[in-house]
Structure 1
Amino acid sequence: MPKAFSQQERERIEARLIGVGKRLINKAGIRFLVVDDVAREAGISKGSFYSFHPSREEFILAVFESWEKEHRGALIREVTEGQGSFRERLERFFIGAFRILEKEPGLATLGVKDIQMIMERLPPERIEAHKAADDRALAEAFGGRAGMERFPPTLLSALQGLAPALFAIALHREDFPPESYQATVKLLSEALAARIAADVEGFAATAAPAGKGETS
């Protein structure tokens, strides 16, 4: 029977598990990640591992989410606190989002089949929780609930599918002709930023008194 841990112990062990997972995935990729190795290096039994994560796939997703969280703060600050116009900040945000996969060796080795394998083995509620977290992060980048009120409804609907769309493009980066991926990322980032900024500014102009519709 797995050992019972206090809340503080669980937090420390979870941090160790995620750290071990990152190191092993960076070293060999997700296909060679073995639960026995993770548990042993984290100093717990295999049975105890499953009291933290119900499956290997859920653990892999938790590791990916930790990586995502590490980079997300900087991306959000780029929009909320960065220099330049709203459009310029958005452009840097999207370029940064595309490049998250390039910054971590473990993420850089991901392929479409790897993602499909993980998603097929996760319960629907876990996938929905992950998507909801992405939506919250996107909302935070655009100023939280109050900030999102500046967005026209049609744009809000489109933004909900933006994170997985960007991720899918980044996953297929090896399918691009040589030297074209970065140029494509820049072009897409510019186009997305320009369209979103224009829609937000246009919506603000129709909703606010004359002279008060400018987006900061």
Structure 2
Amino acid sequence: MPKVAYSEEDRQRIRSELVKTGLELMSRQGVQHTTVEQIYKKVGISRTFFYSFFPAKEDLIVEALYLQQPRVLEYARKLMNDPGLSWREGVGKFLHDCCYGEKKGIAVLTIEEQQQIFKRLSGENCQIFREKQRRLFGQILECFGITSSTERISLLTNLSLTAMVIRRAVPHTLPFFVPEAMDETVEFQIEAITDALEAMKNSSSI
């Protein structure tokens, strides 16, 4: 079979399709259950051609997470602008839907996936990842009507990711946690985070 010659425009289009398809699959069925084979077959290319774009699955995951960031922010804005929701209800629903991301089409990394990706990132790319993450959480704070600062962004990042990651880590990664109480634990965490955000909002408006 003759080798197909792809233009640079074709390659850019295929690369974008791979990232988009990867995000769609990961947000629906989870990162761990999404395989490279599922992605390249859905796009209609070969395994070898896939690896000419991304040396490893983790490299595609990072790009997919970047693609997801503006969508997450837009979802937060939609909730904040919903006249049927109070401020607390909007914030609580946003946090809840992030914690149960697979039900809302939001991809969230497990502890193991974070470790794998961290190993793949160079020092420079790790800084880029952290900066994009800081920018996203800063924009979410502003969307919530809260003046952002380095300290507030860091706190929201850690509190939010803690709730999301622990929910996915029970019972396999964290076997001594009680899985039967996980939903109640998540709701407690969301209430506590919302309380903290409300205090920030009130102090911002003074």
TM-score with structure 2 length normalisation? Answer: 0.69
> 1:58 aligns to what?
59
1:192-207, aligned counterparts within 5 Å? Answer: 192-205=193-206
Aligned equivalents of 1:76, 1:194: Cα separation in 2: 19
Superposition RMSD in Å: 3.8
8 Å CA contact retained: 1:77, 1:141: no
The verdict on how the C-alpha distance between 1:161 and 1:51 changes in structure 2, with shifts beyond 3 A counting, is same
2:187 is the alignment partner of 1:190: no
SS across alignment from 1:53: coil
Q: What amino acid is aligned across from residue 74 of structure 2 in structure 1?
A: G
Deviations 1:76-127 (A, max 9, x none): 32135454443332222211221114545x958x753343223212223333
Aligned equivalents of 2:41, 2:97: Cα separation in 1: 35
Aligned equivalents of 1:83, 1:135: Cα separation in 2: 29
Q: What amino acid is aligned across from residue 187 of structure 2 in structure 1?
A: K
1:192 deviates by 1.0
8 Å CA contact retained: 1:39, 1:45: yes
Comparing 21-30 and 159-168, the one that deviates more: 21-30
Residue 158 (structure 1) aligned to one of 155, 159, 163: 155
Mind listing any 5+ residue stretches in structure 2 that lack a counterpart? none
The verdict on how the C-alpha distance between 1:16 and 1:178 changes in structure 2, with shifts beyond 3 A counting, is same
8 Å CA contact retained: 1:80, 1:143: no
Aligned equivalents of 1:19, 1:28: Cα separation in 2: 14
Q: Which has the larger Rg?
A: 1
1:123-162, aligned counterparts within 5 Å? Answer: 123-143=122-142, 148=146, 150-151=147-148, 154-162=151-159
| Count of aligned residue pairs for this structure pair | 198
8 Å CA contact retained: 1:151, 1:200: no
8 Å CA contact retained: 1:20, 1:41: yes
2:118 is the alignment partner of 1:119: yes
Mind listing any 5+ residue stretches in structure 1 that lack a counterpart? 206-216
> 2:98 aligns to what?
97
Identity of aligned residues (%): 21
